[in-house]
Chain A
Amino acid sequence: MSKKFLSGNLAGKALNNENKLILIATYRAFIHSKMDIKHMDQAKISIVIHTSFGGLESVEQFSSGIKKNSLKPNSFACSSPSVPASIISMCWGIRGPSLTVVSPRFSEEAVLESASDLAGIDTPEWVICGYCHFSTLSSVESQNQMQSQLPDFAKIWITKWKI
């Protein structure tokens, strides 16, 4: 992945594995779509992400820092499930609304339904859609077998909403 996407406030060291994977998936989606985002109205692009335990990896890292008396602000900053949508927004300058839904199930239909909801409250021309799942110590140890058996993944696609 090009270094230019991890510069400034998004220095690689500030991101957890989950967010790096999200950025790579989004980067590939942009390449695949052949979109020239620099010449688009970034306020007319929205983001919809479905996640299961988004940010929990960072919560666990930060919690362990409390015990060790070594608090890392970056871990806390990355702990919200909405961070994947936020870093996509920061990285590509997207200023339309974003929506993060916590869902135990993943399907393209569910994400597109959320995108449709978002299009109902705003008027995006494009919607960056996706879902992601990341195993964490908690999810593996939990009794939620469906979650723990899933591999880590991030899927991002770009939908032209206003035709």
Chain B
Amino acid sequence: MKVVITGIGLMTAFGKGADCFVKNIIDQKDGITTIERFNAEKYRGNQAGQVPLSPGQAWDMADLLEAAIKEALTDAELSIENDATAPSWIVGTSYGYLIDRERVNRAILGRDPAHGAHINGQIISMACVSSTHAIGLAKYYIESRKADCVIVGGVEILREVIHAGFHAVRALSPDKCCPFDKNRKGLVLGEGAGVLVIESQQRANQRKAKIYAEIAGFGSASDAFHLTAAIPNGKGLEVAILKALTQAQLDSKDLGYINAHGAGTIQGDRVESIVFQRIFGGTKNPIPVSSIKAAIGHTIGAGGVIDVALSGLCLTKNFLPATLNFKEPEKEFSLDYVTATREKKVDTVLSVNFAFGGNNAAVVLKKVRP
């Protein structure tokens, strides 16, 4: 059974909506601004990708998630007639106990659930791979007929405790974030929400829904190495990618584009390049690689869904996004780092994420032809 994405909703540093997101990504803009929500001057970095606010407005996680859910449901033209046909939901975020389950139910139904109604929802908290794992679970739910349709979300909000935490572990960049550049100094945080509507291709065709992409493969593995650092040989990430490629029945040489985690950290980006070179290197036509973290910041638990949404949009709108602020790679890597937006048709995309605690996850998307 093919599992497909039929709806996308995004709230990012560029503002509300997937259209606004894509336009800014293609135009190579960034949404990184000076932090005003708390005093960040005392930290190594004082900038972040913040969702724009109107004067007097304040976002919380549920607001961001709700806005993205509504956009995704509208985009998928999904009408939920009664509570019994409500889709399941899986939300990934770094601190799951902060999610208001009732608000998620309300956002999906557009009203309060009927008394005694049960909507199947769960929260995954696995740091930066939280929502990537949610996608893998949703794929399984559809394939196993555990659900007809799953709303998969990722959400994160910029809070001082997280910013200070990344400062404490020396991961913040004092300057602009420049993933994969040889002079990179660290990451810039971001906030936002991403939501995908996931269902079987058969169901999508029956209701004549547009299809962004097939979720063809998912893989995950653990490093068993360190709480905050990736294993230097990248073995866990490599295993996760190979599992996703195998499940997608895709040969590494046939991959079209890699949407990298590329947070801009010195060690993380290096590990990622090592793994990409080991799996995809040595070919006549290197596979293009890029990361959007310099444009919207590292959105932690929301990053997986936002990255996969971007990957689906790349397949339908025929472009590859640039890694902003990238100037020069490290000498030993001969990867095709995308430095300016490319107009290019690709049929397959690999999206990868890895996280504190040694969690790695990868998703393979394939273009679906009408």
Contacts and interface: CB of A to CB of B under 8 A. Distances in A.
Nearest to A123: B243
Interface of B: 42, 94-97, 99, 122-127, 133, 136-137, 139-141, 143-144, 160-161, 164-169, 218-228, 235-236, 239, 243, 355-359
A54 B359 contact: no
Contacts of B227: 9, 14, 77-78, 83, 86-87, 90
A92 B222 CA distance: 12
Contact of B218 (A96, A98, A121): A121
Given A54-B97, A89-B224, 4 more contacts: A86-B359, A90-B227, A96-B221, A101-B124
Given A71-B168, A77-B356, A86-B357, A120 B144 contact: yes
B358 A102 contact: no
Contacts of B144: 120
Contacts, number: 142
Nearest to B226: A9
A15 to B, nearest CB: 9
A122 B124 CA distance: 17
Contacts of B357: 80, 82-83, 85-86, 89
A42 B224 contact: yes
A59 B97 CA distance: 12
Nearest to B98: A102
Residue with the greatest number of chain B CB neighbours at <10 A, chosen from A9, A80, A122:
A80
Q: Chain A contact residues (Cβ within 8 angstroms of B): what range?
A: 35 or more
Q: Please name the 5 residue pairs, one residue from A and one from B, whose CB atoms are nearest each other, closest first.
A: A86-B357, A102-B96, A76-B165, A97-B220, A81-B125
A130 interface: no
B127 A97 contact: no
Nearest to B165: A76
A148 interface: no
A97 B222 contact: yes
B349 to A, nearest CB: 19
A59 B239 contact: no
A152 interface: no
A123 to B, nearest CB: 9
B136 A90 contact: no
A2 B125 CA distance: 29
Nearest to B124: A101
B161 A103 contact: no
Most chain B CB atoms below 10 A, which of A9, A51, A69, A90: A90
A163 B97 CA distance: 35
A14 to B, nearest CB: 8
Nearest to B167: A71
B168 A98 contact: no
B358 A117 contact: no
Contact of A62 (B42, B161, B218, B243): B161
A43 B166 CA distance: 30
A38 to B, nearest CB: 13
A62 B222 contact: no
B168 A76 contact: yes
B222 A94 contact: yes
A121 B125 contact: no
A16 to B, nearest CB: 12
B225 A82 contact: no
Given A95-B239, A121-B220, A80 B127 contact: yes
Q: Which of A69, A73, A97 has its CB near the most chain B CB atoms (within 10 A)?
A: A97
A108 B310 CA distance: 37
B125 A80 contact: yes
A56 B1 CA distance: 40
